[in-house]
Amino acid sequence: MALLQNNFPTFLQGFGYTLLSSIIALIGSMILGTGFAIMQIVPQKWAQVIGNVYVQVFRNIPLLIITFFFFLVVSKYVKMSGFTSGTVALMLYTSAFIAETVRAGILAVDGGQMEGARANGLSFGQAMQYIILPQAFRIALPSLGNQFINLVKNSSILAFVGGLDLMYQGNMVAANTFDTFSTYIIVAIFYLILTLPLSYYIQHLERKLKRAL
């Protein structure tokens, strides 16, 4: 506990950066993921290919490599800090999984919904926006929740590139105090403070949407 008291500002700073990175990556990966999910189901072959390649590339490469790619290679041409590289990598990596989840959700929506909407005069985009995606997200919500929790945990990747996050600060505290054991327990508790409410919120949302059906 003395360890927590003495290093509280450090942990808090790390917590803040982890939270910030997670929020940016979450919003970004939802937008990108949904976009690439749609690309994979439109009739245009070229769009399908792009969507598919994107998902396969980012889903099948370790997050650490993507992070280092931005941190060590891209930053030669475009200046970016460890925090930025890590967050961008996290966003792209997660978006590939979200694309797959959302795509599965879209495919699980009854085909009649799209036909009904098109026959009713809606464009493909309008049908997606108002009819298909809301239903797809509801179907995909449990797996999306898993992705979000993974995203928060995966943000510890920032520690490898000096991203100032919780894990990074934990490493620093552990290195300075030599109390590895307690430090990482504290770090774990901080992660739980982020992930537990998120899990509960998603469970709550699932229940709420089930009732609305």
Partner 1 sequence: MSMIEFKNVEKYYGNFHALKNVNLTIDEGETVVLIGPSGSGKSTLIRTVNGLEEIEEGQLLVNGFDLHDPKTDMNRIRKNVGMVFQHFNLYDNKTTLENVMLAPRLVLKRDEAENKKLAMELLEKVGLADKAANMPSELSGGQKQRAAIARSLAMQPKALLFDEPTSALDPEMVGDVLDVMRDIAKDSSMTMLVVTHEMSFAKAVADRVIFMAEGEILEDSTTKEFFEKPKEVRAQKFLSQVEHH
Partner 2 sequence: MEKAKKRQFGIIATIVLAAVIVLGLMWATATANRNAEHQDTLARVEKLGRIVWGVKADTRLFGLMDTKTGISQGFDIDIARALTVQISKQTGVPMSAEFVPVSTASKMQLLKNTNIDGSVSTMTITPEREKIIDFTNQYFDAGQSILVKKDSGINSIKDMNSSKYTVIVVVGTTAATETAKFAPKAKLLAVQDYATGMQALKSGQGQAMSTDNAILYGFATENPEYHIAGGTFTHGPYGIAFDNNQKPMIKETNAALATIKQNGIYNQLIKKWFSHVPGLDWRSLEAK
Residues binding partner 2 (CB under 8 A):
68, 71-73, 75-76, 79, 81-82, 159-162, 168, 171-172, 174-176, 178, 180-181, 185
Distance, in Å, from the CA atom of 174 to the CA atom of 193, rounded to the nearest integer, reads 20
Contact assessment for residue 14 and residue 190, using Cβ atoms and an 8 Å cutoff:
yes
Among the listed residues 3, 122, 194, 202, the single contact to partner 1 using CB under 8 A: 122
Nearer Cβ to partner 2 (16/35)? 16
**Residue 2 in contact with partner 1, rule: CB under 8 A:** no
Nearer Cβ to partner 1 (110/201)? 110
Distance, in Å, from the CA atom of 158 to the CA atom of 50, rounded to the nearest integer, reads 28
Nearer Cβ to partner 1 (6/129)? 129
- CB of residue 122 vs partner 1: minimum separation in angstroms? 6
| Helix, coil or strand: residue 96 | helix
**Residue 126 in contact with partner 1, rule: CB under 8 A:** yes
**Residue 153 in contact with partner 1, rule: CB under 8 A:** no
Contact assessment for residue 62 and residue 90, using Cβ atoms and an 8 Å cutoff:
no
List, in order, residues 6 or more apart from 48 with CB less than 8 Å away: 39, 40, 41, 42
Binding mask 95-114 for partner 1 (x = CB under 8 A): ---------------x-xx-
Distance, in Å, from the CA atom of 20 to the CA atom of 122, rounded to the nearest integer, reads 38
Alpha carbon 150 to chain centroid, angstroms? 7
In terms of C-beta distances under 8 Å and separation of at least 24 residues, what long-range contacts does 171-178 make, across chains too? 172/10, 173/3, 173/7, 173/10, 173/11, 177/3, 177/6, 177/7
**Residue 118 in contact with partner 1, rule: CB under 8 A:** yes
Among the listed residues 8, 130, 181, 201, the single contact to partner 1 using CB under 8 A: 130
Contact assessment for residue 195 and residue 152, using Cβ atoms and an 8 Å cutoff:
yes
Question: Which of partner 1, partner 2, none lies near 201, with the C-beta cut-off 5 to 8 A by kind?
Answer: none
- CB of residue 100 vs partner 1: minimum separation in angstroms? 22
**Residue 9 in contact with partner 1, rule: CB under 8 A:** no
Q: Which residues of the chain form contacts with partner 1 (CB under 8 A)?
A: 110, 112-113, 115-123, 126, 130-131, 134-135, 138, 212-213
